[in-house]
């Protein structure tokens, strides 16, 4: 019997160089100490305690070592997907500090091509990252599916989950819906998320700047 795995969806997990992790963490901690007071998102506590919505956060803190490594991994991801790794790439990034009890509901990053999250501090039980099966909506129309499913496997699961570690980078296609479980620890979870746009040149960037369209 021959089995084809049609339309595979890559989710890439990488370990970032330890020196780069420490350099970024030092810069982020310095930024938080200087700028965090008065910047908490009080209206959205259950989603994120602190959300830096400057879309060039890594540039703002001058995290050049991380940006350099990210650029390499992003181009590797594009090449994996059969795209030109030498194309024009634009990275936008933002800081997230999630207190105990915080979570992220199911969402995607529509408009970007690649998205990812880099974990700086992750407490035990800090919340798993879930990716939801895009076929789930199609299966929902089949009233018999759940009634006859004997066990979950790679052909029928509703989601896959990752228990992230500090220093870990996870990349995925931006349209893929994902969520984050509640932070059940007594410590904050600290990470930097990013979106990637890629094109033959920077003309599309000018259009996004005009529309203010930077994804989420």
d(CA 93, CA 193): 6
The mean per-residue pLDDT over the stretch 189-194 comes to 94
Whole-number Å distance between alpha carbons of 92 and 57: 8
pLDDT (average), residues 132-159? 77
Asked if 59 and 52 touch (Cβ cutoff 8 Å), the reply is no
Q: Give the residue-averaged pLDDT of 161-181.
A: 96
Judge contact between 132 and 159, C-beta under 8 A.
yes
What is the C-alpha to C-alpha distance for residues 53 and 67, in angstroms, rounded to an integer?
18
The domain that contains 58 carries what CATH number?
2.60.120.620
141 in a domain, yes or no? no
* 83 domain-assigned: yes
The count of structural domains within the chain is 1
pLDDT in tens, 34-58: 865 544 444 444 445 555 556 789 9
Distance CA 19, CA 21 (A): 5
Does 206 have pLDDT greater than 90?
Answer: no
**Residue 136 resides in a domain:** no
- Give 126-144 pLDDT, tens digit per residue: 999 999 988 876 666 666 7
Structural domain for 108, as ranges: 11-130+164-211
In a domain, 159, yes or no: no
Strands in 178-180's sheet, in edge-to-edge order, are: 104-107, 178-180, 129-132, 159-162
Report yes or no on 175 lying in a domain: yes
Mean pLDDT of 190-206: 82
């Amino acid at each position: 019997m021959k089995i084809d795995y049609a339309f595979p969806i890559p989710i890439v997990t990488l370990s970032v160089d330890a020196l780069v992790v420490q350099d970024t963490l030092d810069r982020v901690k310095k930024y938080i100490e200087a700028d965090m007071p008065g910047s908490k998102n009080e209206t959205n506590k259950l989603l994120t305690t602190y959300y830096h919505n400057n879309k060039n956060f890594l540039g703002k803190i001058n995290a050049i070592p991380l940006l350099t490594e990210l650029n390499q991994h992003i181009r590797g991801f594009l090449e994996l997907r059969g795209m030109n790794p030498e194309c024009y790439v634009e990275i936008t990034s933002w800081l997230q500090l999630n207190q105990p009890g915080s979570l992220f509901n199911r969402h995607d990053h529509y408009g970007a091509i690649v998205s990812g999250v880099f974990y700086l501090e992750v407490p035990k039980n800090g919340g798993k990252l879930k990716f939801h099966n895009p076929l789930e909506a199609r299966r929902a129309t089949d009233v018999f599916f759940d009634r006859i499913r004997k066990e979950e496997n790679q052909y029928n699961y509703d989601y896959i989950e990752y228990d992230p570690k500090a220093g870990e980078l996870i990349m995925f296609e931006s349209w893929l819906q994902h969520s984050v479980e509640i932070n059940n620890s007594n410590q904050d979870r600290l990470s930097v998320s990013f979106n990637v746009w890629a094109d033959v040149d920077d003309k599309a960037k000018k259009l996004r700047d005009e529309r203010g369209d930077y994804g989420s």
